[in-house]
Amino acid sequence: MVDKKRFIAVIGGSECSPREAKLAEEVGRELARQGVILVCGGLGGIMEAACKGASSEGGVTIGILPGGSRQAANPYVQIPIVTGLGEARNVVVVKSAQAIIAIGGGYGTLSEIGHALRNGIPVIGLNTWSLSRNDQSDNSIILAQDPVEAVKKAVGSIKNE
Amino acid sequence: MVDKKRFIAVIGGSECSPREAKLAEEVGRELARQGVILVCGGLGGIMEAACKGASSEGGVTIGILPGGSRQAANPYVQIPIVTGLGEARNVVVVKSAQAIIAIGGGYGTLSEIGHALRNGIPVIGLNTWSLSRNDQSDNSIILAQDPVEAVKKAVGSIKNE
Amino acid sequence: MVDKKRFIAVIGGSECSPREAKLAEEVGRELARQGVILVCGGLGGIMEAACKGASSEGGVTIGILPGGSRQAANPYVQIPIVTGLGEARNVVVVKSAQAIIAIGGGYGTLSEIGHALRNGIPVIGLNTWSLSRNDQSDNSIILAQDPVEAVKKAVGSIKNE
Amino acid sequence: MVDKKRFIAVIGGSECSPREAKLAEEVGRELARQGVILVCGGLGGIMEAACKGASSEGGVTIGILPGGSRQAANPYVQIPIVTGLGEARNVVVVKSAQAIIAIGGGYGTLSEIGHALRNGIPVIGLNTWSLSRNDQSDNSIILAQDPVEAVKKAVGSIKNE
């Protein structure tokens, strides 16, 4: 019987600012240092930066791709999962992780935050969406100030199963 | 060649307050009066109330179900689509519509709002989520004050294709 | 409460011979005459011929599309369901039907036959695949000689739910 | 940049005979010896036997699960991918592999063979389905006599991309 590792997803846009990329790369590095397997959507931007960081520290990277070819994966994805599902692959990214770190992000990232919170999967946010309903803040997204804190909170939020 | 009708999705929780149910039922009625086909997730709460309203005015109702059986559809769904996809069916609800009306809603609804905005599908909101990023409001959700206004704005937002 | 109609899927290639198209069109006509709603993958070939036949007799046609745009539907689809799921939409076609009529077909059709039989959904075959395992025929596909017999057997095979 | 390994899927029933399990375990062992990453549906039967074999030789095993929990994975899955997609996950198993080895199998396996051949992904068969259409054999499934030959043919069939 194998020891199943902890899986944490890093979500964010396929295009991002240099500052966001730096955050993502540092998150990737810190996940690898903690022995956590990185799950992401496998493309560029935040996803590529996080995979690059994880790889540089010898971590394992999984990219769950929307299209039909493994060729679309960023060069730091070690385990490409080819879904052909389009955006429905966002659900697979989320469900395959035990916690989520959202960095920046657009509406695709928002959909993933929704799917994660719907499933009771903790979401840690770095410069990402804030939510409110009927003028009341929803504080479900756990805020972090920097990559090391984000990883620490994500690892700490994983439920025993 | 058939005339393809306009399709508008009503999204919201499978549990909802009586006030939200009343809003959803009136939205359903108004959609039917305008000759619009109602798309929804096919279950209870907001979805059932909207289907009930549409049916009462002779409208057509489509329920795109997460589970593997058409038996799970609410009694006002005329066209049950059985996906067995779980929450990934949210993507199908969104993409099958030309505009979305979100009423109240939890995190599943939030995921659908994300998928819709990601696809450039207009979202009209009635007592639903508000979004902001980095302390800046995102005003992509078009606010409506009542069901008639919501339907009017949704119909008006449909892009010619 | 609405009366849920019977749903039967017609599956087959997006390219087909004129003879197969004629079979599919007649199947579509006969389904409409029997008051059955036609489900298909929404594209050309067998799917278009079946929708054309059903429409000509005033039947209802549902097209469950693999891509992200309703514009890809054949002109006889009245209810386009837009999935963006690629081939995974085959599962939705199958599960949304209470019986399947397979006409000719390639490997995509074979995948749908597999999904249907896996789910206990009856499959009627017109010039389609034959299956065997370990030199033993598998007779799960119910053979029909012509479109009227195919529809009769499909309608008769629907289980009460 | 990482070196992307070769990925081969082993498909077959979640219940199987002891003889089939032995074949699957030996296939798993041989894949690991060849440095190939094993992809499967993550459950019992053929999938578990293949993962057990691969693990015993230090190979990497990926299980793409139909349900919503990683707890459903067999104990030899090292990388559980949680889809919640039901049978639509069969498409993800197939597309994530560069070649498929089918062992025995029921209708779910048949659906995977259809999806693989539809995508031009080579299928190697060990005691699995035979196909014919209109009384003509379809020889697309490459037959193998034993596990070592199956792996050899599968590895040899991988296209350069």
Model pLDDT, residue A79: 97
Say if B68 is an interface residue toward chain D (CB within 8 Å).
yes
Asked whether the predicted pLDDT for residue B1 surpasses 50, the reply is no
CA torsion A81-A82-A86-A87 (nearest 10°) is: 0
Model pLDDT, residue C135: 79
Assess contact for C86 and B102: CB atoms under 8 A: no
Say if A156 is an interface residue toward chain C (CB within 8 Å).
no
State how far the Cα of C59 lies from the Cα of C37, in Å rounded to an integer. 7
State how far the Cα of A112 lies from the Cα of C5, in Å rounded to an integer. 36
Count H helices, E strands: chain C? 5, 9
Say if D86 is an interface residue toward chain B (CB within 8 Å).
yes
Model pLDDT, residue A4: 66
The pLDDT tens digits of the residues spanning D65-112 come to 999 999 999 999 999 999 999 999 999 999 999 999 999 989 999 999
Assess contact for D43 and D87: CB atoms under 8 A: no
* CA nearest to A85 within chain C: C85
Token pair for residue C83?
């999935």
State the nearest Cα–Cα gap between A94 and chain D, in angstroms: 9
* CA nearest to C85 within chain A: A85
* CA nearest to D88 within chain B: B85
Model pLDDT, residue B134: 79
Model pLDDT, residue B2: 52
Say if D68 is an interface residue toward chain B (CB within 8 Å).
yes
Asked whether the predicted pLDDT for residue B33 surpasses 80, the reply is yes
User: Which runs of E-coded beta strand occur in chain B?
Assistant: 7-11, 37-40, 61-65, 79-82, 99-103, 123-126, 129-133, 136-138, 142-143
- Answer whether C85 sits within 8 Å of B68, measured CB to CB: no
State the nearest Cα–Cα gap between D66 and chain B, in angstroms: 9
State how far the Cα of D9 lies from the Cα of D23, in Å rounded to an integer. 14
The pLDDT tens digits of the residues spanning D140-152 come to 999 999 999 999 9
- Answer whether C86 sits within 8 Å of A85, measured CB to CB: yes
Cα–chain center distance at A52: 13
Residue A56: other Cβ atoms inside 10 A = 13
The pLDDT tens digits of the residues spanning D15-70 come to 999 999 999 999 999 999 999 999 999 999 999 999 999 999 999 999 999 999 99
Say if C119 is an interface residue toward chain B (CB within 8 Å).
yes
Residue with tokens 């704005």: B153
* pLDDT band at B161; cut points 50, 70, 90: low
- From chain A, pick out residues whose CB is under 8 angstroms from the CB of D120: none
Beta bridge partners of C147: none
The model's pTM is 0.96
**Which residue stretches of C4-158 are H helix?**
18-33, 46-56, 89-95, 107-118, 147-157
Model pLDDT, residue A45: 98
Assess contact for D45 and A54: CB atoms under 8 A: no
State the nearest Cα–Cα gap between D90 and chain B, in angstroms: 12
Assess contact for A49 and A28: CB atoms under 8 A: yes
* CA nearest to D89 within chain B: B85
- Answer whether D111 sits within 8 Å of C111, measured CB to CB: yes
State the nearest Cα–Cα gap between C148 and chain A, in angstroms: 36
Model pLDDT, residue C155: 97
ipTM reported for the complex surpasses 0.85: yes
Say if B62 is an interface residue toward chain C (CB within 8 Å).
yes
Model pLDDT, residue B84: 98
Model pLDDT, residue D134: 78
Token pair for residue A126?
């770095």
Burial B43-63 (b: 16+ CB within 10 A, else e): bbbbbbbbbbbbbeeebbbbb
Residue with tokens 């994975």: D73
Residue with tokens 């979805």: B47
* pLDDT band at D135; cut points 50, 70, 90: confident
Residue of B4, B84, B91 lying closest to C80 (CB–CB)? B4
Residue of C1, C62, C95 lying closest to B79 (CB–CB)? C62
Assess contact for B120 and B100: CB atoms under 8 A: no
Model pLDDT, residue C47: 98
Residues 6+ away with beta carbon under 8 Å from C95: B68, B82, B83, B84, C115, C119, C121
Tens of each residue's pLDDT in chain C, 161 residues: 455 689 999 999 999 999 999 999 999 999 999 999 999 999 999 999 999 999 999 999 999 999 999 999 999 999 999 999 999 999 999 999 999 999 998 999 999 999 999 999 999 999 999 999 877 899 999 999 999 999 999 999 998 65
State how far the Cα of B51 lies from the Cα of B77, in Å rounded to an integer. 6
Say if C55 is an interface residue toward chain B (CB within 8 Å).
yes
State how far the Cα of C132 lies from the Cα of A34, in Å rounded to an integer. 51
> Which chains have at least 3 CB atom pairs separated by less than 8 Å from chain C?
A, B, D
**Which residue stretches of A5-161 are H helix?**
18-33, 46-56, 89-95, 107-118, 147-157
Mean pLDDT of B85-91: 98
Say if D74 is an interface residue toward chain A (CB within 8 Å).
no
State how far the Cα of A91 lies from the Cα of A114, in Å rounded to an integer. 10
DSSP structural state of residue C144: -
Please give the average pLDDT of every successive group of 10 residues along chain A, which has 161 residues.
80 96 98 98 98 98 97 97 98 98 96 98 96 89 97 93 58
Model pLDDT, residue B159: 82
- Answer whether C114 sits within 8 Å of D107, measured CB to CB: yes
Model pLDDT, residue C161: 58
Assess contact for A121 and A94: CB atoms under 8 A: yes
Assess contact for D127 and D103: CB atoms under 8 A: yes
Residues 6+ away with beta carbon under 8 Å from A125: A101, A102, A141, A142, A143, A144
CA distances from A93 to A67, A87, D145 (A): 14, 10, 38
Cα–chain center distance at C138: 21
State the nearest Cα–Cα gap between A107 and chain C, in angstroms: 17
How many residues in total does chain D contain?
A: 161
Say if A87 is an interface residue toward chain B (CB within 8 Å).
yes
Mean pLDDT of B33-59: 98
